[in-house]
Amino acid sequence: MNEDLDLTMYADGAALISATVVEALEIIWMHLAEKGTCHIALTGGTLGGQFAEALVEKLNTSAKDLKGLHIWFSDERFDTADSPLRNSQPVRTGLTNTLVLMHEVKSTDDGVNVIEAAAAYEAELREITMDICILGLGPDGHVASLFPNHWDPTITGRAIPITDSPKPPPQRVSFSMDFINKSDQVWIIATGEAKAPAVTQILEADLSIPAGHVMAAQLTRLIVDAEAFFAE
């Protein structure tokens, strides 16, 4: 059992999203009040997109001063700026609060290749540490765009180019594991029985999957629903 993990379980995905967004907002408010800035990294996938949409809805209707809040993306598909595949789409199309700053990975529309896009994001991230990094979990144990047998755990850059993703599109930009683990808090969110084997591997501290290497500077959370925890 991985004793360094904080495990939280909810009845279903809807309850998970609702409660986790509220918890994220509490941390955002705290950091904005204490230091005037907060950096949060969002992710993609079905659950990551739902989290982003729910968070954006709360930010749009918030009466609080959100100046100093920065939204980043732990990985991004290298595609056109308006592609529905882009992890930034829920924020790009939904965020109306102009005080919040969104930092997008460059797209194919910007006249750069994926290596140049990663280098540009790396430069933006140079002096940044994430207060919260939200990660989804693939059935194969991948996080961000770090896939089993397609990643190098020794890379220490912040944003790295991915050219051979086993899931389309093959070209992506991803946080490195080293940078993910520099985050104050990392929250891995997972729902559904298809994720149960990977959840078990994380709980067993199995280093054969990328998710098994996640270890935040202060707090690492595994947040799941009942199906992801109890599936046989």
In 36-170, which residue ranges form alpha helices assigned H by DSSP? 45-61, 89-94, 114-124
Interval 14-45: pLDDT, tens: 999 999 999 999 999 999 999 999 999 999 99
Burial of 103 (0-12, 13-18, 19+ CB in 10 A): middle
pLDDT in the model for residue 4:
81
Reading the block at residue 57, the tokens are: 């809805």
Domain residues of the chain, as ranges?
Answer: 6-208
| CB of 96 closer than 8 Å to CB of 66 | no
Task: Report the percent of the chain where pLDDT is more than 70.
Answer: 98
How far is it, in rounded angstroms, from Cα 214 to Cα 32? 26
End-to-end alpha-carbon separation of the chain, Å?
Answer: 18
Rounded mean pLDDT, 78-99: 96
pTM: 0.96
CATH fold of the domain at 6-208: Rossmann fold (3.40.50)
Interval 144-182: pLDDT, tens: 999 999 999 999 899 999 999 999 999 999 999 999 999
How far is it, in rounded angstroms, from Cα 41 to Cα 44? 10
How far is it, in rounded angstroms, from Cα 88 to Cα 76? 7
